[in-house]
C-alpha cells in the first residue's frame, strides 16, 4: 500500500496532503502504518474488533491487556491477527503481577509493538520486550522521565495530558507538548489527551510530534463493542461532564481518573466521607480505610462498558467527548481526522504563500 494520504478525501479537498505525510513520516515508519494515528488502548473497549478496525483503516490499533492473564491475552492477540494483517500493538500495565508472562505471551505471538503504561518500567522488562524484536513505546509523564526512558532504550514515547479519559496525570497536553517536544529528538513522540479533531493533530505535528493517540473519539465507533448505553452517554455528554475523581482527604489518596460525572461519582464522595468518619472514630485503621476507598471502583469500568450500567459504573471519558456526536465507522473517524489535519496544514501553507506574495507596505 503506498504510504500516501489520498488527495481528495470524502470530508474535503486537500491541496497538499504531502505535508501531512512528511510531518508524521517518523511516526508512520515506527508504527508501519499509513497514518500516525494511534487508537489508545482502552480497557474492555480495545479488543479484537476495534483494534483490527483501526489498523485496517490505516491507523494503529492497540489491545488493552488490563487485567487479562497471559492465556487470555494470547487468545486476544491471535483473534486480532485473524481480523487484520496490518500492524497493531499490545498495551501492558507495568504493575500487572504477571507482567513477565504477558511479555512472554507477546513474544510468542510475535507482537510487533508493545506499549507499557502505568509507571516507569524496570530495565529488565524493557530488555525482554526489545529482545523479542518488538518496538517499545512508553508513556512519559514529565521531561525528566522522557529523558530517562530514552536512555533506557525505548523506541518511542507517548505524552498524555490530563484532558484524556481514564487514569490521568496533573499536567495538560498543551503544556507537556511544549515542555517535551522541543527537547526530545532521539525518538518519535506521540501526543495524547483531549484530541478530537484533525486540526489539533496538525498542530501537534507542527510542534514536533510524530503522531497522535486518541481514545475517547473511538469509543463510539461502529466496531466498538461498548454497550449502546455507554455509547449514548458519550454522544450526550459535553466536555465539562468528563471530570476527574474527587479526593476528600490528603491522607487517603485517590488515583485521578477522568470519567463522566454520574451517580457513582457522587456516591464515591459519600463513600470517602463515611470511611474517613469510621477511621476518625477508630473503627478502621488507615490501611483498611484506604482499601475500602480503593475497592469502590473495582469492576466499575466493566459494569459500564459491557453491562451498560452508566450510572453505577465508571464511564471513563476524556474532555474530547463533546466532539463525539454520533456512532460512526472507524474508517470514517480516521478519514475525518486525516482530512481535517491535511486541510489545516494546507490552509496555513496558503496563508504563508499569500503573505509572502503581498507587497510590503513600508516599501
Ligand atoms: C474508557 C477508557 C479506558 C482506558 N483504558 C486505558 C488502559 O487500559 N491503558 C492505558 O494505557 N490507557 C487507557 N486509556 C487511555 C487511552 O489509551 C488514551 O491514551 C486516551 O484515551 C487518550 O486521550 P483521549 O481520551 O482524550 O483521546 C483509557 C481511556 C478510556 C477513555
pLDDT at 7: 37
CA 295 to chain centre: 25
Residue 40 Cα to ligand 1 midpoint, Å, equals 6
- Asked if residue 147 and residue 23 are part of one domain, the reply reads yes
- 114 φ/ψ angles, rounded to the nearest 5 degrees: -120, 135
Q: For atom 4 of ligand 1, which residue has the closest CA?
A: 42
pLDDT at 262: 98
- State whether the beta carbon of 43 lies less than 6 angstroms from ligand 1: yes
For residues 219-242, one letter each, b for 16 or more C-beta atoms within 10 angstroms of the residue's C-beta and e for the rest, the string is bbbebbebbebbbebbeebeeebb
- Asked if residue 114 and residue 86 are part of one domain, the reply reads yes
Please indicate, yes or no, if residue 360 is contained in any of the structural domains.
no
- Asked if residue 255 and residue 144 are part of one domain, the reply reads no
Q: How far is the C-alpha of 203 from the C-alpha of 192, rounded, in Å?
A: 12
- State whether the beta carbon of 211 lies less than 6 angstroms from ligand 1: no
Residue 354 Cα to ligand 1 midpoint, Å, equals 41
82: domain CATH number is: 3.20.20.70
Please indicate, yes or no, if residue 354 is contained in any of the structural domains.
no
- State whether the beta carbon of 324 lies less than 6 angstroms from ligand 1: no
Query: For each of the chain's 363 residues, which pLDDT tens digit applies?
Result: 444 444 334 444 444 558 999 999 999 999 999 999 999 999 999 999 999 999 999 999 999 999 999 999 999 999 999 999 999 999 999 999 999 999 999 999 999 999 999 999 999 999 999 999 999 999 999 999 999 999 999 999 999 999 999 999 999 999 999 999 999 999 999 999 999 999 999 999 999 999 999 999 999 999 999 999 999 999 999 999 999 999 999 999 999 999 999 999 999 999 999 999 999 999 999 999 999 999 999 999 999 999 999 999 999 999 999 999 999 999 999 999 999 999 999 998 777 667 777 776 665
Please indicate, yes or no, if residue 7 is contained in any of the structural domains.
no
- State whether the beta carbon of 208 lies less than 6 angstroms from ligand 1: no
- 312 φ/ψ angles, rounded to the nearest 5 degrees: -95, -10
Cell of 263: 451517580
Please indicate, yes or no, if residue 126 is contained in any of the structural domains.
yes
Please indicate, yes or no, if residue 355 is contained in any of the structural domains.
no
pLDDT at 349: 77
- State whether the beta carbon of 141 lies less than 6 angstroms from ligand 1: no
244's enclosing H/E stretch is strand 242-244
- State whether the beta carbon of 215 lies less than 6 angstroms from ligand 1: yes
- Asked if residue 333 and residue 302 are part of one domain, the reply reads no
Domain that holds residue 89: 12-225+324-348
Instruction: Report the relative pairing of strands 12-13 and 166-167 from DSSP bridges.
Output: unpaired
- Asked if residue 75 and residue 147 are part of one domain, the reply reads yes
Please indicate, yes or no, if residue 1 is contained in any of the structural domains.
no
pLDDT at 357: 74
Please indicate, yes or no, if residue 106 is contained in any of the structural domains.
yes
Residue 318 and residue 168 in contact, taking contact as beta carbons nearer than 8 Å: no
- Asked if residue 294 and residue 201 are part of one domain, the reply reads no
Q: How far is the C-alpha of 328 from the C-alpha of 217, rounded, in Å?
A: 10
- Nearest atom in ligand 1 to 115's CA: 11
Q: How far is the C-alpha of 316 from the C-alpha of 166, rounded, in Å?
A: 5
- Asked if residue 251 and residue 143 are part of one domain, the reply reads no
- In the sheet that 257-260 helps form, which strands lie side by side, from edge to edge? 166-167, 257-260, 242-244
- Asked if residue 192 and residue 50 are part of one domain, the reply reads yes
H and E: helices and strands count for the chain:
14, 13
Residue 46 Cα to ligand 1 midpoint, Å, equals 9
3-class DSSP assignment, residue 214: strand
Last residue of a domain, one of 316, 338, 358: 316
- Asked if residue 296 and residue 338 are part of one domain, the reply reads no
Residue 353 Cα to ligand 1 midpoint, Å, equals 39
- Asked if residue 273 and residue 176 are part of one domain, the reply reads no
Residue 5 Cα to ligand 1 midpoint, Å, equals 26
Cell of 243: 471530570
pLDDT at 30: 98
pLDDT at 358: 72
- Nearest atom in ligand 1 to 139's CA: 11
Cell of 270: 459519600
Pocket test for ligand 1, best of 38, 40, 163 (most atoms within 8 A of CB): 40
Residue 167 Cα to ligand 1 midpoint, Å, equals 7
Pocket test for ligand 1, best of 41, 61, 320, 322 (most atoms within 8 A of CB): 41
Query: In sequence order, what DSSP letters do the residues of 36-93 get, joined into one string?
Result: -EEE---TTTSSHHHHHHHHHTTSEEEEE-TT--HHHHHHHHHHHHHH-SS--EEEEE
pLDDT at 354: 72
Please indicate, yes or no, if residue 218 is contained in any of the structural domains.
yes
pLDDT at 113: 98
pLDDT at 361: 60
- Asked if residue 133 and residue 110 are part of one domain, the reply reads yes
- Asked if residue 266 and residue 309 are part of one domain, the reply reads yes
Q: Total structural domains in the chain?
A: 2
Residue 356 Cα to ligand 1 midpoint, Å, equals 42
- State whether the beta carbon of 160 lies less than 6 angstroms from ligand 1: yes
Residue 358 Cα to ligand 1 midpoint, Å, equals 46
Amino acid at each position: 500500500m503506498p504510504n500516501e494520504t489520498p488527495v481528495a478525501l470524502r470530508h474535503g479537498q486537500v491541496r497538499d496532503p504531502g505535508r501531512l505525510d512528511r510531518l508524521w513520516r517518523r511516526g508512520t515508519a515506527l508504527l508501519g502504518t499509513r497514518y500516525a494515528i494511534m487508537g489508545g488502548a482502552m480497557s474492555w473497549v480495545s479488543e479484537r474488533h476495534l483494534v483490527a478496525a483501526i489498523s485496517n483503516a490505516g491507523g494503529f490499533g492497540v489491545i488493552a491487556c488490563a487485567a487479562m492473564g497471559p492465556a487470555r491475552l494470547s487468545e486476544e492477540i491471535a483473534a486480532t491477527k485473524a481480523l487484520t494483517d496490518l500492524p497493531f500493538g499490545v498495551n501492558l500495565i507495568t504493575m500487572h503481577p504477571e507482567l513477565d508472562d504477558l511479555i512472554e505471551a507477546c513474544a510468542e505471538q510475535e507482537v510487533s509493538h508493545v506499549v507499557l503504561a502505568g509507571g516507569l518500567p524496570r530495565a529488565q522488562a524493557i530488555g525482554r520486550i526489545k529482545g523479542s524484536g518488538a518496538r517499545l513505546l512508553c508513556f512519559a509523564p514529565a521531561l525528566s522521565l522522557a529523558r530517562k526512558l530514552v536512555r533506557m532504550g525505548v523506541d518511542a514515547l507517548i505524552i498524555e495530558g490530563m484532558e484524556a479519559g481514564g487514569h490521568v496525570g496533573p499536567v495538560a497536553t498543551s503544556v507537556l507538548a511544549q515542555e517535551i517536544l522541543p527537547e526530545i529528538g532521539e525518538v518519535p513522540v506521540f501526543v495524547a489527551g483531549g484530541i478530537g479533531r484533525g486540526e489539533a493533530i496538525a498542530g501537534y505535528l507542527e510542534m514536533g510530534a510524530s503522531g497522535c493517540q486518541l481514545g475517547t473519539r473511538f469509543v463510539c465507533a461502529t466496531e466498538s463493542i461498548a454497550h449502546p448505553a455507554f455509547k449514548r452517554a458519550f454522544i450526550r455528554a459535553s466536555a465539562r461532564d468528563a471530570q476527574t475523581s474527587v479526593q476528600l482527604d490528603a491522607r487517603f489518596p485517590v488515583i485521578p481518573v477522568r470519567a463522566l460525572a454520574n451517580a457513582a461519582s457522587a456516591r464515591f464522595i459519600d463513600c470517602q466521607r463515611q470511611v474517613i468518619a469510621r477511621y476518625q472514630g477508630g473503627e478502621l485503621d488507615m490501611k483498611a480505610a484506604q482499601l475500602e476507598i480503593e475497592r469502590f471502583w473495582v469492576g466499575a469500568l466493566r459494569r459500564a462498558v459491557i453491562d451498560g450500567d452508566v450510572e453505577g459504573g465508571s464511564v471513563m471519558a476524556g474532555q474530547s467527548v463533546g466532539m463525539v456526536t454520533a456512532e460512526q465507522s472507524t474508517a470514517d473517524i480516521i478519514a475525518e481526522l486525516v482530512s481535517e489535519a491535511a486541510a489545516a496544514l494546507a490552509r496555513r501553507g496558503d496563508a504563508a504563500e499569500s503573505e509572502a506574495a503581498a507587497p510590503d507596505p513600508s516599501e
